[in-house]
Amino acid sequence: MRSYLVGGAVRDRLLGRPVVDHDHVVVGATPQEMLARGFRPVGKDFPVFLHPDSGEEYALARTERKTGHGYHGFAFHADPGVTLEEDLARRDLTINAIAQDEHGALVDPFHGQRDIERRALRHVSPAFVEDPVRLLRVARFAARFEPLGFAVADETMALMRAMVANGEVDHLVPERVWAETRRALGEAQPSAFLRVLREAGALAVLFPEIDALYGVPQRAEFHPEIDTGTHLELVLDMAARLAPGDDLVGFGALCHDLGKALTPTDVLPGHIGHEHAGVAPLRALATRLKVPAEHAALAELACREHLNAHRALELRPATVLRLLTTLDALRRPRRLDSFLAVCEADKRGRLGCAEAAYPQAAFLRAARDVAARVGAAEFLARGLTGPAIGAAMEKARTAAIAALPRPARG
């Protein structure tokens, strides 16, 4: 019985990145032997155990065989005769198929170290095409590692295109699509996730509402990048910069401009009313992927209200208060912060605008703060009751917002 550190822990150590998870593969053991040593079983589809002291995962070496479509279409085989090389052969990318023994020596049968040096995301074997989740994983790894110079190998991209062409991607279940998307939105360069999926032909299959944005023009005086798909990529990366690791903000950024794909061609490059037109495709996407309610709610607010945020310094005080009420900002201040991160990413996610100021955010936060200080107690003390209290509070909050200094527009 021997155990090896595998996967991301080895890869990230070689890249000089922080190692978060330590996963191990065990060769030459049975489930009974693992239990006898105090390991706790957690695996449902195949034998995975938690170390009795460290709590780290130890999986028995296994092979897999394709039995049907999709992520669940596999039969797994684990016994003491499965070798380390056989276990590594079933992994997705060469950079994830490196093992390290207890002495620190590396086992690298598929040249993952070479691909780390070459900055290549390359499949381990032709069996890559059997699991459609791998296509999403490659796109997610691109979102993580493209800032380090990584790119998908040509031969791997060819396999990914084949997976789309043969319909394997059609068997992806919504939960897995969302899980990988959510993780990609929390990476350093989520735009790479879209680019890789689009190059493989998978964006049109999995995210038709987003794919439809590419090639749609915008007014150059507001969007020097012109193309709406390019703008979306810039917004996603700016959102990752403003709110690192925050997939809630990332999803709002992803969906904020979906209505622009629906603009009639005779109106282009203008997009009047796109903020309202985008609500229906957003709801369709969120329903199809079973997106969490808070993500869907923030994305819809960002879609519908981002232009009001951009105009905040010109809005009347009563309109500012209505915007804050729509966002439920007085009761949920963190939602306002997430919303403003999306709006700022939209404003700065344009060619040449990455360092632009966005004073609207500070103004709306200040408006939230002064409005929130107005409570019901003062009006109860005056003897007001029922609707009169609400009306008085609204008037006082509007006056407080009106008294705020308004900075110059960014």
Q: What is the 3-state secondary structure (H, E, C) of the chain?
A: CEEEEECHHHHHHHHCCCCCCCEEEEECCCHHHHHHCCCEECCCCCCEEECCCCCCEEEECCEEEECCCCCCCEEEECCCCCCHHHHHHCCCEHHHCCEECCCCCEECCCCHHHHHHHCEECECCHHHHHCCHHHHHHHHHHHHHHHHCCEECHHHHHHHHHHHHCCHHHHCCHHHHHHHHHHHHCCCCCHHHHHHHHHHCCHHHHCHHHHCCCCCECCCCCCCCCEHHHHHHHHHHHHHHHCCCCHHHHHHHHHCCHHHHHCCCCCCCCCCCHHHHCHHHHHHHHHHCCCCHHHHHHHHHHHHHHHHHHCHHHCCHHHHHHHHHHCCCCCCHHHHHHHHHHHHHHHHCCCCCCCCCCHHHHHHHHHHHHHHCCCCHHHHHCCCCCHHHHHHHHHHHHHHHHCCCCCCCC
Binned at pLDDT 50, 70 and 90, residue 79 comes out as: confident
pLDDT in tens, 158-212: 999 999 999 999 999 999 999 999 999 999 999 999 999 999 999 999 999 999 9
State the pLDDT at residue 405. Answer: 94
pLDDT on residue 110: 97
User: Are 140 and 180 spatial neighbours (Cβ–Cβ below 8 Å)?
Assistant: yes
C-alpha distances out from residue 7 to 48, 91, 153, 313, 390, Å: 15, 9, 19, 50, 58
Calculate the CA dihedral of residues 291, 297, 299, 303 and round it to 10 degrees: 140
Q: What is the Cα–Cα distance from 108 to 388, expressed in whole angstroms?
A: 74
pLDDT of residue 1: 83
CATH 3.30.460.10 domain position(s) in the chain: 1-111
Task: Say what the pLDDT of residue 410 is.
Answer: 60
Confidence of residue 77 (pLDDT cuts 50, 70, 90): confident
Q: Which pLDDT does position 408 carry in this prediction? A: 77
- In the chain, residues under CATH classification 1.10.110.30 are 119-206
pLDDT of residue 176: 96
Residue 131 predicted with pLDDT over 70? yes
Superfamily for domain range 1-111: Beta Polymerase, domain 2 (3.30.460.10)
* pLDDT value of position 76: 67
Question: Class of 119-206 per CATH?
Answer: mainly alpha
In the predicted model, what is the mean pLDDT of the chain?
94
